[in-house]
Amino acid sequence: MSIRTERLASVIQKDMGEILQRNYQPSGAFITVTRVRMTDDLSIAKIYLSIFSPGRDTKPIYHRIDEAQDEIRYEIASKIKNQVRRIPELLFYEDDTAEYVNRMEQLFDKAKASRSDDSEEEESK
């Protein structure tokens, strides 16, 4: 990525976080924009969201954001209109990095427990 695409991605990430938290965040939930990836021609912004909503299903929140995509694009356009010629198309994705990390930690704990069980059996022989 060039410096221009990285800079625009960080501006969109910051502004998108403010827009989503102000207008689309239900009470008791937290929406975080974890990453924004821009295409080289700046026509598409892939926005990765992480939603923390204890005890609730996050699918309706993602669905609401997808349905309001045109409104969100209009709001982001008012903030970045002086920086770009064309407002990029917004694509929202679920960021499952936290789930992946938790799964990996569980596997490591399981392997560690298995290894300690094996070493205890060898010591008892």
pTM above 0.85, yes or no: no
Residues of the chain predicted below pLDDT 70: 1, 118-125
Domain covering 3-94 in this structure, CATH number? 3.30.300.20
Backbone CA torsion sign across 54, 55, 57, 61: negative
Q: pLDDT of 73-85, one tens digit each? A: 999 999 988 888 8
> For the chain, which residues make up each domain, given as ranges?
3-94, 97-125
User: Would you tell me how many other CB atoms lie within 10 Å of the CB of residue 38?
Assistant: 21
Distance (Å, whole) CA 53 – CA 44: 28
> Backbone phi, then psi, for 89, in 5-degree steps?
-75, 140
Q: State the pLDDT at residue 116.
A: 77
Per the DSSP assignment, residues forming a β-bridge with 19 are: none
Map residue 37 onto helix, strand or coil: strand
